[in-house]
Amino acid sequence: MRTIFVLFDSLNRTALGAYGSKAIPTPNFDRFAERAVTFDTHYVGSLPCMPARRDMQTGRLNFTHRPWGPLEPFDNSYAQILSAAGVYTHLISDHLHYFENGGWGYSQAFDSWEFIRGQEYDPLTVLTVPPVERIREAFDPRHYPTEAMEEGRTATRWTSPKDVWKRSRHAINKIDPWEDADYPTAKCFARAFEFLNRNSKSDDWFLQIECFDPHEPFDAPDKYKARFATGYEGPILDWPLYERCTNSAEEIAEIRANYAAVVAMCDDHFGRLLDWMDANEAWEDTALILTTDHGYLLGEHEWWAKNRMPYYEEISHIPLMVWRPDNGPKSGMRVSALTQTTDLMPTILGLHEVASPEESRAHSLLPLLKGRPSGRDTAILGMFGGPVCVTDGRYAYFRFPLTDDPSALPVYTLMPSHLEELFSVRDLATAELVEAFDFTKGAPMLRVTLSNKVGESGMNILANWNAGNVLYDLLSDPGQTTPIKAPEIEARLSIAITEHFEAHDAPQELYAHYGLTRAEGAIRVGR
């Protein structure tokens, strides 16, 4: 068996024709849906980027114990497990977070990997004295705030001087204009075809093609932008702040058009992969998986982006399509059963007839491809410290913490790192060794109390929401505009949250954080 796993970042389900979109033509994603099995009720697990990838690689939820961070020494990575079973694993990616402190270990789990430079704030072009003022003149000032604009507003990671500088990196990378082939997504697929052509006669390999697009900044070649021209003539709008949407209708349309252009670019490159599958008759012996890590708000619910609001359907309900060579008459089928990001791990292993480790808490998708149940009835999802959402596919229930005090929820890890920085010495001074969890293979853990609220922990969401717990009926209200009151449903879904916490051997502090009670006798000494 050979497997190609294509992972785009921030690819909205509602942007694909196969999921009902009419705003963005996606002929190649739709072409794949005609052959593959399309999952209609697929959800994220942990958010955002690297927590989602830890879920994928390990078959367990990240957010029950820690925020964004590296792969842990005891983690079961599907890349390492496949390699140990004789399946060669290779990663091609332009996802810059793999190469920051908080992304360590994920790419290194593969037998080999290639990194494409230049996405987001990755400094591909180095200017010691960059033309920052010229850049600011070209872009909307709300996306590249000046110090004067920051006066009197609450400081966030999106308006700090450091992040204003980071936002200028992409423009600096394009000081010398890019041709179509210079865009990182194009380079990812070019490298992928090199791998595929070189290894087209080989068996037992796993290739992960991982593109940062259509993640912001929303930048695509002019030929794609022309397809969605809005007539807007103002400063460039390609990177909304992670804040409430205060833009005009004209500006919202332009930002959405820029996102659409990047999606169209991704669709074109994915189509080239489908062409390769056709030309090499690879459908007979090669599995192909297409998905994303999470969605992205484009003004819906009066918000931009993610991380600072509840995990609405636009963020949490994501696309997934799977082709397995022996699908047979099941090609083009739709699966309505509830599935989740963690379920990719046992699925990928199962495609290569490799058993899942006992620490996995996921459900393989392979039975669903044959019309059988997977065993999943509910899924929980969230960010560390933020609200926990539970869904059964019909209802989505957000349970909010009782406090936004970061010291109330310690982090359990052996890899103490945030997105970019290592844990501070001040925070590490609080660390203590505690007994092993059931997934750490006997290794004790560090329990660390964070001194500050960090955006990656989900604590920022709490500052933007004062409505308390909320329940939505997704059947009658898929846009999540009108919460309902149904105590019996909330009670049932709260029990489901507790069951997932228990299955993941969550620490006692997590139950207390959400006002939940752990089952009698389930708490062990040290936690």
Q: What is the residue extent of each domain of the chain?
A: 2-122+198-377, 126-175
Beta strands in 47-180 (DSSP E): 88-93, 112-115
What beta strand segments (E) does 73-223 contain? Answer: 88-93, 112-115, 205-211
Q: What does DSSP assign to residue 4?
A: E
CA distance 241 to 259: 14
**Cα-Cα-Cα-Cα dihedral of 447, 107, 205, 357, to 10°?**
0
Distance CA 380, CA 382 (A): 7
Structure tokens at 194: 């090199």
* 395-399 and 470-473 strand pairing: antiparallel
Write out the E strands in 165-270: 205-211
Do 59 and 342 meet the contact criterion of CB atoms below 8 Å apart? Answer: yes
DSSP letter at 154 equals: -
Q: What is the CATH number of domain 2-122+198-377?
A: 3.40.720.10
- Tell how far CA 375 is from the center of its chain: 24
Q: Could you read off the pLDDT tens digit of each residue along the chain, which spans 527 residues? A: 999 999 999 999 999 999 999 999 999 999 999 999 999 999 999 999 999 999 999 999 999 999 999 999 999 999 999 999 999 999 999 999 999 999 999 999 999 999 999 999 999 998 888 787 788 788 887 766 554 444 444 444 445 566 677 888 899 999 999 999 999 999 999 999 999 999 999 999 999 999 999 999 999 999 999 999 999 999 999 999 899 999 999 999 999 999 999 999 999 999 999 999 999 999 999 999 999 999 999 999 999 999 999 999 999 999 999 999 986 657 799 999 999 999 999 999 999 999 999 999 999 999 999 889 999 999 999 999 999 999 999 999 999 999 888 888 999 999 999 999 999 999 999 999 999 999 999 999 999 998 876 656 788 888 888 889 999 999 999 999 999 999 999 999 999 999 999 999 999 999 999 999 987 544 432 33
Bridge pairing between strands 334-340 and 37-43: parallel
* pLDDT, position 139: 85
DSSP states along 468-501: -SEEEETTT-TT--S-B--HHHHHHHHHHHHHHH
Q: Kindly report the backbone phi and psi dihedral angles of residue 441, in degrees, each rounded to the nearest multiple of 5, phi listed first.
A: 60, 40
Which class for 33: exposed (0-12), middle (13-18), buried (19 or more C-beta within 10 A)? buried
Segment holding 433, helix H or strand E = strand 432-434
Q: What angle do CA 333, 268, 346 make, to 5 degrees?
A: 45
Find tokens 């807007």 and name the residue.
232
User: CA-based angle 520:435:511, to the nearest 5?
Assistant: 40
Q: What is the pTM of this model?
A: 0.95
Structure tokens at 199: 């290894």
Determine the pLDDT at residue 462: 86
3-state secondary structure of 305: strand
329 Cβ contact list (under 8 Å, min separation 6): none
Tokens 């004067």 identify what position?
A: 148
Give the single-character DSSP code of 507.
-
